[in-house]
Copies of this chain bind each other. A is one copy, B any other.
């Protein structure tokens, strides 16, 4: 069965020294325009201050000529998802975000609309984590306890946003990002795509391509990590469905 799926999964919303979504605004605009979306449903659950976050996001979307409504301003979150033309889940804390998605019963409605009726989905950082199989490869602190680490499952692999290789010469003894992902693979077989800051994954149906300007590192259990350049087609990772 072919999957109707339109995703833009961004590593980070903000580049050092520029505004929210500024560095990737052309890509975001093109993504929603392509599918005829003029109004986007925003999910601010990853940050504590929903109103402040919504103002920031609305401003960035207005600059792209797009309208933005926040799910927290709607009476019924489930209805809001059912009626959305497009959805954007912003970054922040992944545990808080996933817990709130569960608390508001929107996990299933979002998954259904994205995978069955092709609702365009954009995520950044934590919003990219929750689009994958699980939040088991987030970088965030577990500040709240969600009922599960299982996420939306819009792709059959995990993503590590803000992926970074160790600083040469670092003497800090905390695990490097690569060591953390290796620990995950001691427990699970799910592939992990380490998306460097400045990169994003665009998925349309059964096709997935790396976009942006930095690239990614792909971790498959039991194999050497692979460096992936921008433009790489990684559609094969969608096949495990």
A residues whose Cβ falls under 8 Å from a Cβ of B: 12, 14-17, 48, 92-93, 95-96, 135-145, 148-149, 162, 164, 167, 171-175, 180-181, 183-184, 186-188, 197
> So how many copies of this chain end up in the complex?
2
Residues of B within 8 A of A136 (CB): 141-144
Is there contact, CB below 8 Å, between B137 and A138?
Answer: no
Is there contact, CB below 8 Å, between B141 and A184?
Answer: yes
Is there contact, CB below 8 Å, between B141 and A183?
Answer: yes
Separation of A96 and B164 alpha carbons in the complex (Å): 23
Residues of B within 8 A of A141 (CB): 136-139, 180-181, 183-184
Given contacts A48-B183, A145-B149, contact A139 B174 (CB under 8 A): yes
The secondary structure that dominates the A interface is: loop
A49 CB → nearest B CB, Å: 9
Is there contact, CB below 8 Å, between B148 and A145?
Answer: yes
A-B contact pairs, 7 of them (CB 8 A): A48-B186, A96-B187, A136-B141, A140-B183, A141-B184, A142-B142, A145-B148
Q: Which residue of B lies closest to A180 (CB)?
A: B141
Interchain CB contact (< 8 A) of A187 among B92, B137, B144, B162: B144
A124 CB → nearest B CB, Å: 10
Interchain CB contact (< 8 A) of A143 among B15, B139, B184: B184
Interchain CB contact (< 8 A) of A173 among B15, B138, B140, B143: B15
